[in-house]
A and B are shown apart, each in its own frame.
Chain A
Amino acid sequence: MLTLDRATYDGIVAHAKRDHPVEACGIVAGPEGSDRPERLVEMVNSAGSPTFYEFDSTELLALYQDLWRREEEPVVVYHSHTATEAYPSRTDIGLANEPGAHYVLVGTQEHGNIQGPVEFRSYRIVDGEVTEEEVTVVDALPPASTP
């Protein structure tokens, strides 16, 4: 199950709507091993395409160096599908390289840039196998457990 706080959920949806019809993409970082999506990082889709997304290679390195410094990892990797269902495509599955991440798909095809509900779904993608999971939105994440 993926649990997101309301502000992060709204931020991802707003990004997807703003960039529609181009695919929006980004991550939500959290402390390594915590499974807590705490820090939304919007990325630029360097492909600038309605059917493809890719983080720019230089920005990708800068992102990961920042994560390593903060001892964080990508807890969520998100992107939008702007003309099709919010389900991982064959390409999405083949290129899913963060086995620990929740892969979030936002479907904006119904309302595009304007207000209105979106599809918001989350998956685990490990070794080419896709498992959908429940998404729960809470006002705030529960306090981090201290070991």
Chain B
Amino acid sequence: MAVEVRIPTILRPYTGDQKSVEASGASLSALIDDLEENHPGIKDRLLENGDLRRFVNVYVNDEDVRFLGGLEAAVSDGDEVVVLPAVAGGGPDGLVRGA
């Protein structure tokens, strides 16, 4: 089962500079484990303490996975997964909320 995963520039060092790679898994969690098999180190850039990092956005078929059950989001053959780091920041007093 193959799912296309779009990789952002900042994570391309893990994918040999490929803009998108294929992975498999029935859930986002399984998909990320499969990504890690072929691209060691990438999982740690996506997850923190077993959950998606606050400032990493993942979309399945254009829907933010936070609305699809997070890591439990179902993924199936032919789906398109996009990983995008948040574009965010703040002044010296800015809180990194939820991070």
A contact set with B: CB distance below 8 Å: 23, 25, 27, 43, 47, 49-55, 57-58, 60-61, 64-65, 73-74, 77, 79, 81-84, 88-92, 94-100
Contact = CB atoms under 8 A, between A and B. Distances in A.
Given A51-B93, A52-B94, A89-B94, A95 B88 contact: yes
B86 A88 contact: no
Contacts, number: 96
Interface string B69-99: 0000000000000101111111111111100
A63 to B, nearest CB: 8
Contacts of A90: 92
A89 B87 CA distance: 14
B81 to A, nearest CB: 12
B94 A49 contact: yes
Interface in B47-76: 55, 57, 59, 62, 64, 66
A41 B59 CA distance: 22
A57 B91 contact: no
Nearest to B56: A97
B94 to A, nearest CB: 4
A79 B92 CA distance: 14
Contacts of B82: 61, 64
A54 B92 contact: no
B61 to A, nearest CB: 11
